[in-house]
Amino acid sequence: MLKTILVLVLIPFSALSAAALWQGGYMGLFTQQLANYGLQQILADLVIAVFLCMYWMWHDAKKSRRNPWPWMLLSLLAGSFGPLLYLITRKAETNSAQAGGVATSGERS
């Protein structure tokens, strides 16, 4: 169930990201965010959130014996795509405590 939800988030997010890249280019995504303090705050918030996700991914990947670097680099270059794809490709854990608190498709919080 969780993977289905993540894919349903990824698809429209990918379309929105592609449209934004087409309209403004990669650097245009950042220059627009520097236009005023409100947009700068949103950018800073998103950067903090991505780094928190990267911290979690690093520890989760080490526990599950996955190489964290592809997901870390993808997160640095493409933001939320790294954590989304990491979770989509993550194998289900039998115990949510071992998974760092992330419930799998067979578990309910």
Length of the chain: 109
Confidence tier at 44 by pLDDT (50, 70, 90):
very high
Rounded mean pLDDT of the chain? 85
User: Rounded distance, CA 26 to CA 20, Å?
Assistant: 8
Identify the CA nearest to 84 among candidates 5, 2, 6, 20.
6
Checking if the pLDDT of 13 tops 80, the result is yes
C-alpha neighbours within 13 Å on the C-beta side of residue 21? 9
Q: What is the pTM of this model?
A: 0.74
| Cα–Cα distance list, 45 to 28, 33, 40, 48 (Å) | 18, 12, 9, 5
